[in-house]
């Protein structure tokens, strides 16, 4: 992803937005759900934006769907899908996964993203186009590119005030935790698991007790593993045969090596291996609060307990 630096104010009250802010060191704008390749070709490189309108401040825009819903206001949080193109090249999209993407702030200069956001409402689909040369007048760090414009298409799924958004996040968190707890309990019952969870809430089911060196904080361990969801969907593995069976792309199939206690692994795994010896085989059932929590992570949905089958193969 190219490294553009927009005037995005980092003021926020929720961690998810802070994470997304790191992703969005890119300036301004994508291509629409309804935008065709021919439109992108006509406006991506030539500088003439066919079919776009222009505000007095110089902001280029094209609505694909425009509703009568209220426009976004200062401090509002916008839940959206976005498509970001540099000329004709897709740089980023979260298509199919609407997320809290923006917090509306005061515009920093005429025609910037914050001005654009105040033109949209729930249900709208719109493409904004930003001229790279104009951007460099306000931000000299924007690099030279063959493309003349960068495009954001925003499909708006919801707009919330800060208070409404905080309430929504709290309600979603509670609902997600309750639903996860029910699924996890059903899984434990179905599998006939009788061991009790450890202090982290992780179920550690020892299949084979090893007799080799002990994994401890500060030690580097190696382990083979297969990670799956409760429904059996495998999302990662160190085994080539399992990867091929589940269409998981990997470039190498070496045991996973990491420093115990360094925070490089999810906490449920990092903590559970402490005290295990080389040769130990175990199944770990890790609740989402000790894994990826309320945020999706690649193929792992939000509020997903994870099942890891592991074997400790080295400690040093």
Q: Which of 116, 147, 163 is the last residue of a domain?
A: 163
Asked whether residue 180 is domain-assigned, the answer is no
Asked whether residue 179 is domain-assigned, the answer is no
Q: What is the pLDDT of residue 48?
A: 54
Q: What is the pLDDT of residue 32?
A: 30
Asked whether residue 267 is domain-assigned, the answer is yes
The count of structural domains within the chain is 2
Same domain flag for 134 and 243: no
pTM above 0.85, yes or no: no
Asked whether residue 226 is domain-assigned, the answer is yes
pLDDT, one tens digit per residue, over 152-197 is 999 999 999 999 999 998 999 999 999 999 999 999 999 999 999 9
CATH value at residue 99: 3.10.50.40
Asked whether residue 5 is domain-assigned, the answer is no
Q: Which of 145, 163, 181 is the last residue of a domain?
A: 163
pLDDT above 60 (res 294): yes
Q: What is the pLDDT of residue 310?
A: 98
Q: Give the mean model confidence (pLDDT) for residues 88-111.
A: 89
Same domain flag for 20 and 151: yes
pLDDT above 80 (res 16): no
Q: Which of 10-19, 79-88, 241-250, 280-289 has the lowest mean pLDDT?
A: 10-19
Nearest alpha-carbon partner for 25 in 159, 147, 142, 118: 142
Q: What is the pLDDT of residue 2?
A: 31
Q: Give the mean model confidence (pLDDT) for residues 69-98.
A: 92
Which residues fall within 8 angstroms of residue 182, CB to CB, at 6 or more apart? Answer: none
8 A C-beta contact, residue 139 and residue 130: no
Same domain flag for 263 and 137: no
Same domain flag for 148 and 218: no
Same domain flag for 159 and 41: yes
pLDDT, one tens digit per residue, over 34-78 is 332 333 333 333 345 889 999 998 899 999 999 999 999 999 999
pLDDT, one tens digit per residue, over 106-165 is 998 888 899 999 999 999 999 999 888 887 888 787 777 777 888 999 999 999 999 999
Full domain range(s) for residue 275: 192-315
Looking at the chain, which runs of residues are DSSP E strands? 53-54, 60-65, 77-86, 89-93, 99-103, 125-131, 149-160, 203-208, 220-229, 234-237, 256-259, 281-286, 306-315
Which residues fall within 8 angstroms of residue 226, CB to CB, at 6 or more apart? Answer: 234, 236, 237, 238, 239, 242, 308, 309
Asked whether residue 198 is domain-assigned, the answer is yes
Question: Distance between CA 231 and CA 254 in Å, rounded?
Answer: 26
8 A C-beta contact, residue 42 and residue 64: no
Same domain flag for 53 and 116: yes
Q: Give the mean model confidence (pLDDT) for residues 271-299.
A: 95
8 A C-beta contact, residue 227 and residue 302: no
Asked whether residue 305 is domain-assigned, the answer is yes
8 A C-beta contact, residue 265 and residue 289: no
Average pLDDT, the chain: 84
Same domain flag for 235 and 309: yes
Whether the CA torsion 172, 178, 183, 184 is positive or negative: it is positive
Question: Distance between CA 5 and CA 235 in Å, rounded?
Answer: 33
Asked whether residue 176 is domain-assigned, the answer is no
Comparison of pLDDT for 138 and 270, the residue scoring more: 270
Q: How far apart are the first and last CA of the chain?
A: 37
Same domain flag for 70 and 131: yes
Same domain flag for 22 and 147: yes
10 Å Cβ neighbour count for 102?
Answer: 27
Same domain flag for 154 and 217: no
Q: Which of 163, 183, 212 is the last residue of a domain?
A: 163
Q: Give the mean model confidence (pLDDT) for residues 277-303.
A: 94
Same domain flag for 42 and 105: yes
Same domain flag for 148 and 232: no
């Amino acid at each position: 992803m190219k490294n553009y630096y927009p005037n995005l104010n980092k003021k926020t009250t929720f961690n998810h937005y802070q994470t997304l802010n790191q992703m969005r060191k890119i300036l301004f704008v994508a291509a629409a759900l309804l935008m065709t390749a021919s439109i992108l070709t006509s406006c991506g490189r030539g500088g003439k934006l066919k079919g776009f309108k222009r505000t007095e401040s110089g902001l280029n825009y094209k609505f694909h769907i425009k509703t009568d819903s209220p426009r976004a206001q200062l401090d509002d949080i916008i839940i959206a899908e976005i498509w970001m193109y540099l000329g004709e090249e897709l740089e980023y999209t979260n298509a199919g996964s609407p997320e809290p993407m923006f917090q509306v702030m005061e515009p920093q200069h005429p025609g910037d993203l914050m001005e654009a956001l105040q033109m949209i409402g729930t249900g709208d689909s719109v493409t904004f186009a930003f001229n790279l040369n104009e951007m460099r007048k306000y931000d000299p760090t924007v690099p030279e590119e063959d493309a003349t414009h960068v495009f954001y298409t925003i499909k708006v799924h919801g707009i919330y005030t800060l208070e409404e958004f905080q309430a929504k996040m709290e309600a979603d968190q509670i609902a997600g935790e309750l639903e996860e707890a029910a699924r996890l309990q059903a899984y434990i019952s179905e599998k006939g698991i009788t061991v009790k969870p450890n202090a982290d809430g992780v179920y550690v089911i020892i299949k084979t007790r090893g007799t080799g060196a002990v994994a401890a904080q500060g030690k580097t361990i190696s382990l083979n593993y297969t990670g799956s969801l409760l429904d059996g969907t495998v999302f990662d593995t160190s085994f080539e045969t399992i990867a091929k069976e589940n269409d998981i792309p990997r470039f190498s199939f070496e045991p996973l090596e990491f420093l115990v206690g360094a925070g490089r692994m999810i906490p449920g795994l990092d903590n559970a291996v402490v005290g295990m010896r080389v040769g130990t085989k175990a199944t770990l059932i890790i609740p989402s609060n000790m894994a990826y929590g309320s945020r999706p992570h690649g193929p792992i949905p939000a509020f997903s307990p994870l099942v890891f089958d592991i074997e400790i193969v080295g400690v040093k």
